[in-house]
Structure formats: structure tokens, C-alpha cells
Amino acid sequence: MRLFSVRLIVSLIFGVTLVSLGFSYYEVVGAKRRLRADLDRRAEVLGESVAGNVERTWELGSDRDLERLVQRFGNREHLLGVVVYDKDQKLVAITPELGKVLTAVSPAVTQVLAAHHDQAAAARLGLMSVHILALPLHRNDELIGVLAVVHDANYIREDSLRVWRAAFWHISVQVFIIVLVTLLIVRWSITGPIARAAQWMRALRMGHVCSRQEMPDLDMFRPLAREVATMALSLNQARNAAENEARLRDAAESQWTPERLAVHVRTRLAGSHLFVVSNREPYSHVRNGKSPHVIVPPSGLVTALEPVLDACGGTWIAHGSGSADQETVDAHDRLRVPPDDPRYTLRRVWLSKEEEDGYYYGFANEGLWPLCHIAHTRPTFRADDWQYYQDVNRKFAGAVLHEIEDTPNPVILVQDYHFALLPRMIKENRRDARVAIFWHIPWPNPEAFGICPWQRQLVDGLLGADLIGFHIQSHCNNFLETVDRVVESRIDWEHVSVIRRDHRTTVRPFPISVDLTDEDSTQHANAGIAYLESASLMRALGVETTFVGIGVDRVDYTKGILERFLAVERFFDQNPTYQGKFTFVQIGAPSRTHIKRYHDLLNEVEAEAERINWRFQAGKWKPIVFLKRQHSHEEILPYYRIANLCLVTSLHDGMNLVAKEFIASRHDERGVLILSQFTGAARELGDALLVNPYDIDQTARAIRVALEMEPEKKQLRMQRMRRVIKEHNIYRWAANLVTELCEIRLDPQQEHEKIRANVVVA
């Protein structure tokens, strides 16, 4: 830093001096120009006046009268004198003082005699700089002589030297002040913050600080501050990951972490590239004032797959739905993400409003969604929507094929029911690609799926994949039975796979999960702190209560929200002592509201909550609080932590991650989960209170059991469920999916031999 200061001072002195000298030079040149112009003007005025008098005196008087006239002009400012020559350049009259120094005829006089008009010139008389103005003298339009007016020009040089002397002192003072101020600025605004940042990073390296908020103020270096913060966060995460891995090794545990997943995937891919295809994008840009603002949509899929893409630098292909998405991509519709630390590529695909309405809201969510969930909402199938569904799948297939064009043996993970046709489209063009699709919603029985007019095309599209994943085995079985009825194929029941068009498709269950991190739970384990947090949250809602229940869902007819409210009402009917003591908080995010069924459902849920509240509400207590808006995970987490129970009453669900999120949030090992038996999570979380959501009385009884369960029993149940989620977390799901796909052999001859040896004809 000392060397930097010396270089800065020397550079400032040199720079300021050079600049000041330049300005001073132009100032001196300007002053000289002005003084000379002023001298020219005064000489011209004086010369014209004297010339007239000399012409009249020469014509009427004698040479002595002419000398007396000339001598009268010897005492003017900066005037050395005047001299008169005849036309033969003979001296006629001269000012005495000028006569002492003027020893020869000036060239200007000669030029006047030759050109017959005024001439001005600079000359030297000994050591003196002079200005000479020569004017012709006439008599009756005949040239009779020349008048020369001579001024002393030394004062111009003296003024220039004065300006240079003043500039020298000004430069000295300026250099001193600027250097002093700069050194103070460097110390206060650069050296000081950098020293504090270095001290903070040293403390971070030693493990004394651990949060981004503790970073010192580096406002003058915002880009550097962002990079330092990102580096510090990465360092902290790496330290925590290393400590966690060491702890797991010491405890002989096999918990999956993002770091372990990244290493595992790199090994499995063996140099191949990974491509993820989904409708929802991991990062979206929306307009915030004049500039785009990035948002991260809440998604367990992003949590699971981002570490994989980070590890291999893959590509995520998704629908660009943000209002400012097109402003942030390059000419190939790509950008690098995450924004703070780019590690993989996001490729956006653009859909028109008609395509989105037909493909997404129409066929996918008014057709396939109710068809697969069997939640007593009639599916709607329209030929126009089916056409848009095919067109959008083709558009995404084109984007995928373009991205994998120069990639040998690519690995492609297609996500969900929006892209049932995509695996076949990709596989027909790239036989060397490994293609998997994960179906995140249930697969119904063959009779229910048979409602779809285009069931054959959907099943054929899915069978283009090498691997199809569902949440649970029963969904795999339903799919295989559907295949058996819908398309011509051979099913290998022993290896749970389908052979169609000499291509084998493996079908496997991969139960998706959440991330359960081992945080320091001391804060949350303290009952007093939990009570204060609960009171604070309820006070913010304007409610006073003793016990709290929580439900978190999109407002969707498959989630059983109306049945949940009816169970709460029945609970108060059967247990009036809990009136005024128990409040159920329903966080409901409005979803797909321009679809009539969803719009009507939202109104029904609001009306039912108001009806029950009107019936039981008293003072500052009410039985149901319905929070109708989107909530971030950070906003939901406090409700999970304070809840005495969580109600998950889905009428039909592939997995339901709300149940697992509730358990993952309970570091205090308190709280009870009431879980629908029609969710995929019910297969894993046997220690939840399982209910049939259609049985209102059973759910009401479960609420009472949850509130009155002994603390030791609650803790034991929660411990067992947390252990299940910890061992089968989201990273293990991603690892199993990628591993299974990468182990599939693509050699046609080997596949043919395997088919002949193992296939059982359906």
C-alpha cells in the first residue's frame, strides 16, 4: 500500500503539473495575442493621427517645424518615438530618444515605398524588442515619404514572464492541495475499507464470521464487493460442506449433499453433458422500473437439479415466461446462471399467448391434470389444445436438438406431463442420446386414462424415453398396465420395462423429497422462544389463540382444502372446549385462476372460510385464517415452526412435498403431521396420522389426537420421519435418477439379445 501511495503521489504531481503547464501555456499565448492586438490598434490610431499632421506640416512648413511636431510624440506610453523619411529613404525628422537607438532604415519603410500601403513589423533595436508601423505620406496623391511609429514591445515579454511566475505558484499550491486531499480520500475511502475487508476475510478464513451481512461496507467498489461476497459465501459453504462430510464419515452415515451429488454426477456422466427440459425456468426476469429484476420461482426441482448442472456445466431448457426474459438473453436465447456465480446455461424457448393457453392451460392443466389426479373434476379435451400441445412439444424438441447438435452421447432429463411427446421426438433424431422423463403427478389406472382421446400418442411419446420415473411403484404399475392396453409392445415384468419398436424403456419409482439440513436447532428447540414467535405471528394476523394448525397449498381442487375446512368445523362441533384456543392458518396461493374451475374453487374456499368464521368467531379469535397470496419459502417457514399440527389432505397427489417440508423445518422435533393416505408421501411417512380426507369425522378426530398427543410420542414420531427424509433427500433422488439413466446400455445389438433372453410376451 505504501508503494501504491508513492506511485499515486508521483503520478498526481506529474499529471497536475503537466495539465497546469498546458493551461498556463495557452493562457500566456492568449495574453500575448491580446497585447499585440492592442499594440497594433494603438499604433494604427496614433499613426493615422500623426501622418495627417505630418503631411500638412510638411506641405506648409519647414523641416524644423516638422521636427518640432515629431518631438511632441516622444512621451506616450510604450512609445519610443516617430521618424519621417522622404521617398528616397533619407531621414527628415526623428524623435530624439528614438534617434539614439535607431541606426538603420527598417525593412517596413522600404516595403511601404514599394507597396504604397501600411506595413507593421516586429524588430529588435539592440536588446530591445520593438513594434514598427510604417505609413505612406502623400501630397496631392503623390507619395512623398514614410512615417514610422516605433513602440517598445518589451512589456509584452515582461507580462508573459509575470504570468509564468504566477502559474508556477498556482501549480505548486494546486499540487500540494490535490495530493493532500487524494491521500485523505485514499485512506478513508480505499485503504480503510480494503483493510476492513481483509480483516473480515481473515476472520472468515478462521471461521469467526459466517454470514454475507457481516461484510464491511465497500460501496465504492460494488462489483468487487459482490465478487467478494460471492467468494465468501462459496468459501463458507465449502467449509460447511467439508465439515458435514467429515461428520458423516465419522458417524458412518451416507447422507447426500449438493457437493456429494456434484461429484457423483461428474463421475457418472464421464464427460457427457446434461440437458434438463422443463416448462418452468429456474431463473426468471421481470421488469422492475427501468431495469430487469431476477426472481427465483419456488421449486423443489430447482433445488434438486441445480447442483447437478453446476457440477457439469449443463444446459436447462425452459419456457421463458418472465416479462423481461427476452431482454436478458443473447442472440441464441441463452444466458449464464446463477446470476451471481454463472455455472450453467439457461436456454429459453418462446411461446405465443395462443400456444401457452392451448398447450399449458388447455391440454396440460384442463386435460391431463384432472385426468391423472382422479379428483372428480371432469377433464376437458379439445382438438385445438391437442394441436398446440403437439406444436409446443415439437418446438421444444427443436430447441433440444439444436443444443445437443455438437454434443456426443448427451444425457437429457425431461420433466413432467407437459412434454409427454418429447422423448420420442428427441430419440428419433438422436439415437445416441440418453433420455429420461420424470412424471411428477400420479398415473391413473388404465380405465381412467382411457378417457383421453389421444392416449395412444401420449404413451408412444413417453416410450421414446430410455427411462420413465414416477414417485411410487403403484404409479409405475398403472403405467405398465396402460401400455399393455393401449399400444402394441412387449412388457418385461421381471425388469419392469417395455419394448416397443426394438427400443427398451425402463420404468422406475423415484420418490422425490426435500433438503433437510442439520442446522443448529438450539434456537428453535427453546419452547419459550417458540411461544413468543407464535404469539408474534398470530398478533400480526390479528388473532389470539393457544394452538395453531397450518396448511400450505396452491388453491387446487386436488388438495382437499374444502374437506380440510369441513374437518376443522367438525372438530369444533365435537370439541367445543377448543373454541377460542385453536386456529387453523391456510396459506393458499391462487393458481390458474383464468381457468373457470380454479376461479370458482377460489371463491368457494373463501366463502367456506367466511361461513365457518361467522359461525364460531369470538372477540380476537377466529377458527380459520385464509392467507390468499403467493408466499416465499422464507415467509412460510415460521408458520411451519410454530404449528402444533400440519394438515395435508390431498384427494390425490403424486408425492406432496408440503408434508416433507413441514418435517424438515421441525428441528425442535415437535409438531404432528396429519397426512392424506392418497399422497405418495404416505408410503414413506408412516409415523404421520394417516387419514382419508373424504372422511370428515376421521380427520376431525385426528386433529384432536394431534393436539393431545404426549410430547414424548410426538418427538419419537417426528424423529423417525426426519430420519427418513434425511436419508432419502432431494439430492439422493437426483443421484438415483441420473445413475439409473447413465447405466442404461444403448447398443442395439446388446438390446436385441437382452430382449430375446428376458422378455415375457404380454
Residues 501, 752 contacting (CB under 8 angstroms): no
286 pLDDT above the threshold of 60: yes
Q: Which CATH class is domain 522-727?
A: alpha beta
Any residues with CB less than 8 A from the CB of 672 and at least 6 apart, and which?
A: 644, 645, 646, 688, 689, 705, 706, 709, 714, 717, 718
- The predicted pLDDT at position 598 comes to 92
750 pLDDT above the threshold of 60: no
> What pLDDT band is residue 757 in, cutting at 50, 70 and 90?
very low
Distance CA 489, CA 180 (A): 86
111 pLDDT above the threshold of 80: yes
Distance CA 518, CA 255 (A): 11
Distance CA 373, CA 686 (A): 22
Distance CA 609, CA 569 (A): 10
344 pLDDT above the threshold of 80: yes
- The predicted pLDDT at position 201 comes to 66
- The predicted pLDDT at position 754 comes to 41
- 107 or 691: which leads in pLDDT: 691
Q: Output the nine-digit C-alpha cell for 197.
A: 475487508
Distances (CA, A) of 473 to 491, 507, 680, 683: 16, 9, 10, 10
Of 166-170, 297-301, 365-369, 405-409, the poorest mean pLDDT is in 297-301
Query: How many other C-beta atoms lie within 10 A of the C-beta of residue 639?
Result: 23
**Interval 519-534 mean pLDDT:** 56
pLDDT in tens, 168-183: 787 788 788 887 887 7
> What pLDDT band is residue 121 in, cutting at 50, 70 and 90?
confident
Q: Output the nine-digit C-alpha cell for 351.
A: 411461446
- The predicted pLDDT at position 220 comes to 54
Q: What CATH number has the domain spanning 262-509? A: 3.40.50.2000
| pTM for this entry | 0.70
> What pLDDT band is residue 649 in, cutting at 50, 70 and 90?
very high
Q: Output the nine-digit C-alpha cell for 590.
A: 391462487
For residue 637, the surrounding DSSP H or E stretch is: helix 633-642
Distance CA 624, CA 757 (A): 61
Residue 316: name the closest of 336, 332, 289 by CA.
Answer: 336
Strand pairing report for 411-415 and 274-278: parallel
- 287 or 383: which leads in pLDDT: 383
**Interval 372-381 mean pLDDT:** 90
Chain centre to alpha carbon of residue 762: 52
Please state, rounded to an integer, the average pLDDT across all residues of the chain: 85
> What pLDDT band is residue 624 in, cutting at 50, 70 and 90?
very high
**Interval 242-268 mean pLDDT:** 70
Distance CA 145, CA 59 (A): 12
- The predicted pLDDT at position 631 comes to 86
Distance CA 254, CA 203 (A): 31
SS3 string, 501-512, reads CCEEEEEEECCC
Cis omega before residue 338 (within 30°)?
A: yes
What's the alpha-carbon Rg for the chain, to the nearest Å?
Answer: 46
- 333 or 245: which leads in pLDDT: 333
| 3 state SS of 504 | strand
Residues 441, 479 contacting (CB under 8 angstroms): no
- The predicted pLDDT at position 143 comes to 83
Which sign does the torsion angle of CA 558, 562, 565, 569 carry?
negative
How is the chain split into domains, by residue range?
A: 2-158, 212-253, 262-509, 522-727
Which sign does the torsion angle of CA 536, 540, 546, 549 carry?
negative
356 pLDDT above the threshold of 90: yes
Residue 567: name the closest of 554, 555, 551 by CA.
Answer: 551
Chain centre to alpha carbon of residue 81: 82
Percentage above 70 pLDDT, the chain: 86
For residue 582, the cross-strand partners are 547
> What pLDDT band is residue 345 in, cutting at 50, 70 and 90?
very high
Of the ranges 305-314, 531-540, 602-611, 736-745, the best mean pLDDT one:
602-611
- The predicted pLDDT at position 295 comes to 86
Amino acid 757 reads A
**Interval 748-755 mean pLDDT:** 44
- The predicted pLDDT at position 116 comes to 79
**Interval 543-562 mean pLDDT:** 95
161 pLDDT above the threshold of 50: yes
Residue 422: name the closest of 441, 443, 438 by CA.
Answer: 438
749 pLDDT above the threshold of 70: no
Query: How many other C-beta atoms lie within 10 A of the C-beta of residue 342?
Result: 13
Percentage above 90 pLDDT, the chain: 51
Distances (CA, A) of 261 to 125, 283, 442, 523: 96, 21, 26, 29
Of 29-43, 192-206, 414-428, 695-709, the poorest mean pLDDT is in 192-206
561 pLDDT above the threshold of 90: yes
- The predicted pLDDT at position 758 comes to 42
Kindly state the DSSP code that residue 106 receives in the 8-state scheme. -
Any residues with CB less than 8 A from the CB of 315 and at least 6 apart, and which?
A: 273, 274, 275, 276, 309, 344, 345, 346, 347, 403
**Interval 159-164 mean pLDDT:** 80
pLDDT in tens, 476-518: 999 999 999 999 999 999 999 999 989 999 999 999 999 887 6
- CATH second-level architecture of 2-158? 2-Layer Sandwich (3.30)
SS3 string, 683-724, reads HCCCCCEEECCCCHHHHHHHHHHHHHCCHHHHHHHHHHHHHH
Residue 84: name the closest of 113, 44, 41 by CA.
Answer: 113
| 3 state SS of 734 | helix
Same fold, 262-509 and 522-727: yes
199 pLDDT above the threshold of 80: no
Residues 441, 654 contacting (CB under 8 angstroms): yes
